[in-house]
Structure 1
Amino acid sequence: MRVTQGAFSFLPDLTDDQIKKQVAWCLDQEWAVSIEFTDDPHPRNTYWEMWGNPMFDLQDPAGVMQELAACRAAHPDHYIRLNAFDSSRGWEAVRMSFIVQRPKVEPTFRLERTEVEGRTQRYTLVTVR
C-alpha cells in the first residue's frame, strides 16, 4: 500500500519532467518552493526535515531540480516532498505539497481496535514494515 499524502498521491509517481512542470507552475504563481525529506511518513508526522532553505527568490525550475537531485543522492531511501509556499498577504501558507520520491519498500499502517471497559473502544495506529 502506498502512503497517500499531498497532491497527486493517488496517481503513479511523477516523472522528473512532470515534476519540473509542476515546479514551473508554482513559480509562475510566485510561490516559494522548498524540499523536505523523512524516513517516517506517519500521517501525524507533519514535521519533515528541510533540505536547505526555501527558495524564495528562485525563478527557474532548474534550480529546484538541481536541489532535488542533491537531496535524492543524499537520501536515496527516504520520502522526499516539494512544498510550494504562498507568501502573499492573506494566505501565507503552503498551497501545494507533493511527494517526489518514495523508498523501494513503503511501510503500511494498520488501525488496531481494543475493547476496554464497557462499550468503550480504543484505537491505535500501528506501523507495519
Structure 2
Amino acid sequence: MRITQGTFSFLPDLTDEQITKQVQYCIDNGWAVNLEFTDDPHPRNTYWEMWGHPMFDIEDAAGVMMELNECRKVYGDRYIRLSAFDASHGWESVKLSFIVNRPSEEEPGFRLDRQEAAGRNIRYTTSPYVAAKPEGQRYG
C-alpha cells in the first residue's frame, strides 16, 4: 500500500530536483514554505509535527532543501510533508502540499473497521495498522 496525500499523491515520488523546482515556484509566488513530519499519516491526522518554523522570507529553494535534508537525517524513517501557504489575503491558505519522504520499509496501510449501529445502520472507521505500535517504534 502506498499512502496518497497531497498534490502529487498519485504520481511517483518526486526527486530532489523536482522538489527544488516546486519549492522555487512557491517562493516565486511569495508563499511561505514549511516542513512537517509524522509516523501516523491517517487522512484525518492534519496535525503533523513541524520541523522548525515556517520559512517566510527565504529567497532560494536551496535553503528549504537544506532544511529538508536536515529533517530527513533526524526523521528519515517517517513521513515528511512540504506545504506552501499564501498569506496575501490576510490569512494563510494552503496552496501546495505533498509528501517528500516516506519510511524506507513497506507502508502497512489501513484496515476498514465495520461497526453495527442502531436501526440497521453501519459505520466504518479506517484504522492504520501501524498505530498498533507505540509512537517512535512504528517504522524501522
Do the two structures share a fold, i.e. TM-score over 0.5?
Answer: yes
CA–CA distance in structure 1, aligned partners of residues 76 and 118 of structure 2: 46
Matched, 1:86 2:86: yes
Richer in helix (by share): 2
Superposed CA deviations along residues 84-124 of structure 1, whole A, max 9, x for unmatched, are: 01010166211110000000221311222233443111212
Q: Under a length normalisation based on structure 1, what TM-score does the superposition of the two structures give?
A: 0.94
Instruction: Give me the whole-angstrom Cα distance separating, in 2, the residues matched to 1:116 and 1:52.
Output: 44
Residue in structure 2 matched with residue 121 of structure 1 by the alignment: 122
* Structure 2: gaps (5+ residues): 131-140
**Corresponding residue number in structure 2 for 1:57:** 57
- TM-score, normalised by the number of residues in structure 2: 0.87
Following superposition, the deviation at residue 27 of structure 1 comes to: 0.6
Q: Count residues with an aligned counterpart.
A: 129
1:71 matched to 2:104: no
User: What is the aligned partner in structure 1 of residue 97 from structure 2?
Assistant: 97
SS of 2:11's partner is coil
Residue aligning to 1:112: 113
- Runs of 5+ unmatched residues, structure 1: none
**Residue of structure 2 equivalent to 1:37:** 37
Q: Which of the pair is proportionally richer in strand?
A: 1
Runs of 4+ deviating beyond 6 Å: none
Which position in structure 1 is the counterpart of 2:24? 24
